[in-house]
Chains A and B, each alone.
Chain A
Amino acid sequence: MDRIFPFGLPWPTEFYTVLYVLTFALHQALMHYVLAGSLYVAWTMAFPGTGATARYEQPIATALRDWMPFALGAAITAGVAPLLFVQILYQREFYTANLLLSWRWMIVIPALIVAFYLLYLIKSQLMFHWPRLARASVATLAGLLFVFVGFCWTANHLLSMHAAGWPDMYVTGALPFAASTVVLRMLVWGGGAFASMATEVAWQIVPGTGIPKEAQTTSSDPRPLAAIAMGGFGVALVAAAAYMWQADANFRALAFGIVGGPYVVLALVGVALQVVLWYRAWRRAVLSRMALALITGGWVITLLSVSVVREIGRWSTLDVASLVARHQSAIEVGGLTIFLIFAVVNFAAIAACIWTVRHNTT
């Protein structure tokens, strides 16, 4: 590997990798909203504050409570695509990690079902008649379930990269990597999730930004969101630095070399752009649409770049060249044209649905 990611390999491998990274980033964007959102709502339920309006009834929490069930449904649906492409790209690795984690992996499904219903409960008015402790417990449980799901995915991903440790783990059940690795990765994603959530919620609640109308409030103070975003970046950057420091030399060489270096730079530029604009919004207590659009641009760049660096981490542990024959035979089975046609038609239909709602509601 001596060219910028994903080039330098046969085109089927490049193609599937690009599709995987793009769809994974889309899934992350939605999952961040739910992960950080549920934790934020849990905090507002536990510490409602002493102001006239409880924190959980203020704009950020209101928008989150209202939209998290949909966001989770969308995140799960969006997650089907990277789940599909990872099976083409790294079938043996992904399946083996699934099997080795066994029930520790399968429990993700019931955990998500419970968390999903808790989100509907959090959205309903029913909970507001409950005592504070009960409200906080429900919201905290939902947040912790999403953290747990994140932990399972992280463990699965890391395990898929540790082929040498599979036989031992099969017998002992012990993960073949340090717990600190999982924790640091989760802190990177967790911190980033708060920054993502701040940007996404900003589009919902800052007056003049549009969607949804009923979630807009009279509050134009972007400082709470700015604080969330900057706090998230702080955690993510420190954790990322620590992770890279303890990562193996091969990964660092790829990540900071020609393969991944440009993406690391892009990620940092994206973060810097967001931090500067959030800080400006915090100082001035105003967030213009233009500033939010720029923040969103930085967020997209960061999300995609970090997803690429994550993939380079996987490449650093695998003999990717040994996988290309499988990718070549996969691309030859046919059906790509059908997918492309229906992708265009169905995403146009999705746009039409949104257009219908925006132009036909009273």
Chain B
Amino acid sequence: MPDIYPVNDYGPLMPGLVMAGVAIFHVFLAQFAVGGGMLLCYFQWLAMSGREPNARHFVAGYFKVLVLVSFVIGALTGVGIWFTAIQISAPTIGAMVTNFHWLWATEWTFFCLEIVAGYCFYRYHERLNDRAALGLLITYAFAAWASLFIINGILSWQLTPGRWLETHNIRDGFFNPSFWPSLLFRTVVATTLAALAACIVVNTIRDLDREARRALINRAAYLMIPMVLMPVLGVWFLAAMPDDSRTWILGGSPAMTLFMSISIGASLAVGAYALIGLVYQHLYINGATATLLLLLAFGATAGGEFVREGARKPYSIRYTLYSNGILPGEVAHLREVGCTTDDPYPLRDASAYPNDQLRLGARTFRRLCHVCHTVEGSNGLVGLTGTWDVTQMRMNIAMLQHTKPFMPPFAGSPQELEALVQFLRWYARDRPASWAASDDPDVTARIQKWLGEAGTEAGVVMPAAMRQRSTK
């Protein structure tokens, strides 16, 4: 049985939103760092070959930005995302670390190479010959991309573990069905972000006239040409997704469809401006417009990451671990013994509840629901269940994976389910000072029947191999 961890409350913010905020910010900066390395190699080559007279000047300024933004905030939000993942779902990050720690350790060796190569260039480029400077930049760019290569394998495994489910072989998990489309897509995003950042940096170089700036901007825009591949890569990624996830994105879940539409719309706007305006018409772009385009790209990244995270539901690791940290194989056991029985952590506000049943309901909510829901804030259960009567609440929660297929099966005892229902009703009625506990044996029996009818498996279709293993 997995470990049970203490749960923290983030007020009206559901923990998933906290995670998303840190993750999107970090992904944006990390991809900028990856693309930045490639862009610098290109400009160093332009400088060395005499094709662009101001390229050398640009390289120095751009790398300073890269160091100040990526080396500092990028690196620290990378650690921050780890800490945040522990806060939000310790079982998930624990499973990821356990299964891929040697690959993560390999990524660490690339981090070390990246920082040394990058800092050597940053500190000594003015005194290095061109060949040595290019060598350092290529090393830096390769190390940065290699770290993307590795983390992409681990993240895409969460959504599409593929043959790993049968073999538990690290190679099968790493080179999973969505690995290549995801890697190529992220690489295109990385070069695009780097090019957009370059447009801003060029506009900050004071001693260049407008024509010189335009020439640099048009050169940087070449790194956005791969955006033409985005539709193909996007379709490839969608095709690699589990069927149910794809269905939610393509209209099944309005929120996910909306976020994907934002992502596509923003990408289209950036791509059209870049390809038609900068590459084809060789237009100039000022700092304000470049910043706006970069913000649009941030929106596209945010939308894409939201969809990628959301598409895993009801799992945090597909078919392996539910979003709430419960293992599929645990559900049947927890329905017998209860999900709160082994939880050693008392309630922080135990005296605020009028009776023990509500306290049990609060602990059930904390164990099973808290990671994705609040009580009354964002994605709040009181609001989501507000139109259900008490019988509907009991039945819908007991048959949760059928009520909403992106929800995991309820993994507690009938008593805990009833306590959760009473807890939500008590909240919905503004938490009165007294509340009668419900102890009708017929109700418990009915909940037990519904739980039995719902079964302990997820509502989404599981691969045959996984199903065989889970029944062993």
Q: Do A and B bind each other?
A: yes
Q: Enumerate chain B residues within 8 angstroms of A170, measured Cβ to Cβ.
A: 6, 345-346, 348
Candidate in A80, A354, A362 with the most chain B CB atoms within 10 angstroms: A80
Whole-angstrom distance from the CB of A147 to the nearest CB of chain B? 18
Whole-angstrom distance from the CB of B60 to the nearest CB of chain A? 16
Which of A1-9, A95-103, A309-317 is the contact stretch? A95-103
- A333 and B6 contacting across the interface, CB-CB below 8 Å: no
Asked if B248 is at the interface of the complex by the 8 Å CB criterion, the answer is no
A-B contact list, 20 entries, CB within 8 Å? A70-B119, A81-B108, A83-B79, A84-B104, A84-B105, A87-B93, A87-B97, A91-B3, A91-B94, A95-B86, A99-B87, A106-B84, A117-B68, A120-B72, A170-B346, A171-B347, A334-B170, A339-B102, A343-B109, A362-B129
- B90 and A88 contacting across the interface, CB-CB below 8 Å: no
Asked if A299 is at the interface of the complex by the 8 Å CB criterion, the answer is no
- A113 and B73 contacting across the interface, CB-CB below 8 Å: yes
Q: Enumerate chain A residues within 8 angstroms of B124, measured Cβ to Cβ.
A: 357, 361
- Contact flags (1/0) for A129-143 with B, using CB distance below 8 Å? 000000000000000
Asked if A47 is at the interface of the complex by the 8 Å CB criterion, the answer is no
Q: Enumerate chain B residues within 8 angstroms of A77, measured Cβ to Cβ.
A: 75, 108, 111-112, 115
Q: Enumerate chain B residues within 8 angstroms of A112, measured Cβ to Cβ.
A: 76
Asked if A346 is at the interface of the complex by the 8 Å CB criterion, the answer is yes
Asked if A167 is at the interface of the complex by the 8 Å CB criterion, the answer is yes
- A99 and B6 contacting across the interface, CB-CB below 8 Å: yes
- A166 and B344 contacting across the interface, CB-CB below 8 Å: yes
Summarize B's interface: helix, strand, loop or mixed: helix
Q: Enumerate chain A residues within 8 angstroms of B168, measured Cβ to Cβ.
A: 333
Asked if A336 is at the interface of the complex by the 8 Å CB criterion, the answer is yes
- B72 and A83 contacting across the interface, CB-CB below 8 Å: no
The verdict on A335 contacting B109 (CB below 8 Å), with A91-B94, A117-B72, A361-B124 known, is: no
Which of B131-139, B227-235, B399-407, B456-464 is the contact stretch? B131-139
The verdict on A335 contacting B100 (CB below 8 Å), with A167-B344, A347-B112 known, is: yes
* 9 A-B pairs with least C-beta separation: A335-B102, A360-B132, A334-B170, A346-B109, A109-B80, A95-B90, A361-B127, A339-B102, A92-B3
Per the bound structure, the CA–CA distance linking A342 and B147 in Å amounts to 12
Whole-angstrom distance from the CB of B66 to the nearest CB of chain A? 12
Q: Which range contains the number of B residues in contact with the other chain?
A: 35 or more
Whole-angstrom distance from the CB of B172 to the nearest CB of chain A? 10
Per the bound structure, the CA–CA distance linking A307 and B26 in Å amounts to 31
8 Å CB contact of B79 from A76, A92, A329, A336: A76
Whole-angstrom distance from the CB of A68 to the nearest CB of chain B? 13
8 Å CB contact of B86 from A98, A116, A362: A98
- Contact flags (1/0) for B120-134 with A, using CB distance below 8 Å? 100110011101100
Known contacts A95-B94, A171-B346; 5 further A-B pairs (Cβ under 8 A): A73-B115, A84-B108, A350-B117, A353-B116, A357-B120
8 Å CB contact of A354 from B68, B115, B120: B120
- B345 and A167 contacting across the interface, CB-CB below 8 Å: yes
Q: Enumerate chain A residues within 8 angstroms of B78, measured Cβ to Cβ.
A: 80
Q: Enumerate chain B residues within 8 angstroms of A70, measured Cβ to Cβ.
A: 119, 123
Q: Enumerate chain A residues within 8 angstroms of B411, measured Cβ to Cβ.
A: none
**B309-366, CB < 8 A from A:** 344-348
Per the bound structure, the CA–CA distance linking A361 and B127 in Å amounts to 5
Whole-angstrom distance from the CB of A22 to the nearest CB of chain B? 12
Candidate in A166, A329, A339 with the most chain B CB atoms within 10 angstroms: A339
Whole-angstrom distance from the CB of A241 to the nearest CB of chain B? 34
- A73 and B344 contacting across the interface, CB-CB below 8 Å: no
Asked if A349 is at the interface of the complex by the 8 Å CB criterion, the answer is yes
Q: Enumerate chain B residues within 8 angstroms of A343, measured Cβ to Cβ.
A: 105-106, 109
Per the bound structure, the CA–CA distance linking A339 and B107 in Å amounts to 9
- A76 and B75 contacting across the interface, CB-CB below 8 Å: yes
Q: Enumerate chain B residues within 8 angstroms of A81, measured Cβ to Cβ.
A: 105, 108
8 Å CB contact of A346 from B84, B99, B143, B170: B143
- A356 and B98 contacting across the interface, CB-CB below 8 Å: no
Whole-angstrom distance from the CB of A64 to the nearest CB of chain B? 15
